Amino acid sequence: MRAEPGPQPMISRTRPGEKRGVHAVAIWLHRNLFSSWSSTALTLMGCVLVYWLVTGIFDWAIWRAIFYGADGSACRVEGAGACWPFVTAKFQLFMYGRYPTEELWRVNVTYALALAGLVPLMLPGVPGKLWLAIYMLVIFPIAAFLLLTGSSWLGLPVVSTELWGGLLVTLVVSCVSIAVSFPLAILLALARRSDLPLIRWSAIVFIEFVRGVPLVMVLFFASVMLPLFLPADITFDKLLRALIGIALFSAAYLAEVVRGGLQAIPRGQFEAADALGLSYTQKMGLVILPQALKFVIPGIVNSFIALFKDTSLVLVIGLFDLLGIVQQSVAADANWFSPQTAATGYVFAGFVFWIFCFGMSRYSVWLEGRLGTGPRR
């Protein structure tokens, strides 16, 4: 699924000879809103819908909303709208889970380190991409791991992953999974296009198997079956199991994206690389993959968006990401019980998810235009 850039071209682009001002507005209105009886009817229906949406949202979120209050009693008023104090009171929980308050700076430093690497990496034209990539792929993961879990050696108290939650878990799960699944996906995609039947078929079976089952089942598999597969003395925590499950899951999907890129490379490139006497590794690493990956950057971003939304499923194996922790607070906190608590919580969670996903999809569209890899018209 690829997000297409921009709206439809408007039919009423003013041409040089055309009249301007009020008349142009009238022409535009006539062409785009009132061109026929049916169109006029649709426009009126649309107006009613817009009016209903806008007033409904305004009424609920601002006009009738409760903004202050120490607990749910403030929101248990007849006819009250959104219960915003619920969000402000639970904000830390939603963002960090039960991560100890005095250690929160560690999470924030991790975010800052990530942004410091990601922003220049994502902007085309910033020099030193190689060093930035090395920073993001080698230095940052080690630093983030030490900061978030803690280490007695550095004097940072250990914070068990049981305490992690909220947006922190959403971001950790999605970022780690994409980082782990990406190299795996490249290997799978290359294997799937290999000439060696056994290797090709292993890749096909793995990819189709994983793509054929729901993520919920993959998570069950990771949480119930994985411990059975390993020797009894090896145990690891729930978060890691979820990470393995989601990483394998997204690797299969990403592999198909990368394969799309590989298939888009003309045969001549493979043959030219062979003719130059390059080995398989050189051919793929120096000629094919750089072109193929550039071609599928939007697809990769879209996979990341899907992965980001899918992290909310870790709820089924008892981890609490942003949505999970909102749902838990809504359902289990009697202090905040009120008719609008649930709606308020969901609107907040939805807003956060939406900002992230919409931001990424816009980035992908922008990048598509920049790289000139989008569909040509």
Partner 1 sequence: MSNLTSRDGAKARKLLDHLYNPKSRGIFFQLVMLAAILWLGYEVVLNVAHNLEAQGIASGFGFLDRTAGFDISQTLIPYSNTMSYGRVFWVGLANTLLVAGLGIVLATIIGFIVGAARLSRNWLIAKLATLYIEVLRNLPPLLMLFVVYFGVLKNLPSPKASLELPFSIYLNARGLYMPMAHREPGFGVVIAAALIGIAAFVALWQWARHRHRLTGHPTPLLLPGLVLVFGLPLVAFVLAGMPLSFDLPVQGRFNLTGGIVVQPELAALLTGLSLYTAAFIAENVRSGIQGVPAGQREAAAALGLKPRQILWLVVLPQAMRIIVPPLTNQYLNLTKNSSLAIAIGYPDLVSVFAGTVLNQTNQAVEVILITMSVYLVLSLLTSLAMNIVNVRMSLVER
Using CB under 8 A, pick the residue from 24, 25, 26, 47 that binds partner 1. 47
Question: What residues are paired with 151 via a beta bridge?
Answer: 156
Tell me which of 204, 213, 272, 276 binds partner 1, using CB under 8 A.
213
Asked if 77 touches partner 1 (CB under 8 A), the answer is no
Binding window for partner 1 (CB under 8 A); candidates: 91-99, 110-118, 196-204, 259-267: 196-204
CB of 358 to partner 1, least distance (A): 5
Site for partner 1 (CB under 8 A): which residue of 167, 313, 325, 365? 313
- Secondary structure of 21-83 in HEC code, one letter for each residue: CHHHHHHHHHHHCCCCHHHHHHHHHHHHHHHHHHHHHHHHHHHCCECCCCCHHHHCCCCCCCE
46 is a contact residue toward partner 1 (CB under 8 A): yes
Cα 55 vs. chain centroid, distance in angstroms?
Answer: 31
Number of residues engaging partner 1 in binding (CB under 8 A): 65
Stretch that binds partner 1, among 56-64, 88-96, 156-164, 211-219 (CB under 8 A): 211-219
Helix residue ranges, H only, the chain? 22-32, 37-58, 84-96, 104-122, 129-134, 140-149, 166-192, 197-212, 215-220, 226-229, 238-264, 267-275, 280-282, 289-295, 297-310, 322-332, 341-371
> C-alpha angle 81/84/90, rounded to 5°?
140
Q: How far is the CB of 106 from partner 1 (least distance, A)?
A: 27
State the minimum distance, in angstroms, from the CB of residue 50 to partner 1: 7
CB of 349 to partner 1, least distance (A): 6
Backbone φ, ψ for residue 66 (5° rounding): -100, 130
Binding window for partner 1 (CB under 8 A); candidates: 2-10, 93-101, 119-127, 144-152: 2-10
Other C-beta atoms within 10 Å of 204: how many?
13
Site for partner 1 in 315-374 (CB under 8 A): 315-316, 323, 327, 330-331, 339, 342-343, 346, 349-350, 353-354, 357-358, 361
Return the residue matching tokens 């080690």.
Answer: 142
Q: Tell me which stretch binds partner 1 (CB under 8 A): 57-65, 123-131, 210-218, 261-269.
A: 210-218
Q: Is 97 helix (H, G, I), strand (E, B) or coil?
A: strand
Stretch of 73-81, 111-119, 287-295, 310-318 contacting partner 1, by CB under 8 A: 310-318
Helix or strand or coil: residue 11?
coil
- Establish if 227 lies at the interface with partner 1 (CB under 8 A): yes
Q: Which DSSP symbol is given to 12? A: T
CB of 128 to partner 1, least distance (A): 32
> What's the distance, Cα to Cα, between the start and end of the chain in Å?
18
Is residue 22 a contact point for partner 1 (CB under 8 A)? no
Beta partners for 321?
166
The string over 325-362, giving b where at least 16 C-beta atoms fall within 10 Å of a residue's C-beta and e elsewhere, is bbbebbeebeebbbebbbbbbebbbeebbeebeeebbe
93 versus 330: smaller Cβ distance to partner 1: 330
Distance, in Å, from the CA atom of 48 to the CA atom of 150, rounded to the nearest integer, reads 56
Q: Which is nearer to partner 1, 68 or 229 (CB)?
A: 229
CB atoms within 10 A of CB 25: 11
Asked whether position 79 contacts partner 1 by CB under 8 A, the answer is no
Among 51, 52, 63, 209, binds partner 1 (CB under 8 A): 209
Those residues whose C-beta lies under 8 Å from the C-beta of residue 17, and which sit 6 or more positions away, are: none
For position 4 contacting partner 1 by CB under 8 A, the verdict is yes
Residues near partner 1 (CB under 8 A) are 1-4, 7-8, 10-11, 31-33, 35, 39, 42-43, 46-47, 49-50, 195-199, 202, 209, 211-217, 220-221, 224-225, 227-232, 305, 309-310, 312-313, 315-316, 323, 327, 330-331, 339, 342-343, 346, 349-350, 353-354, 357-358, 361
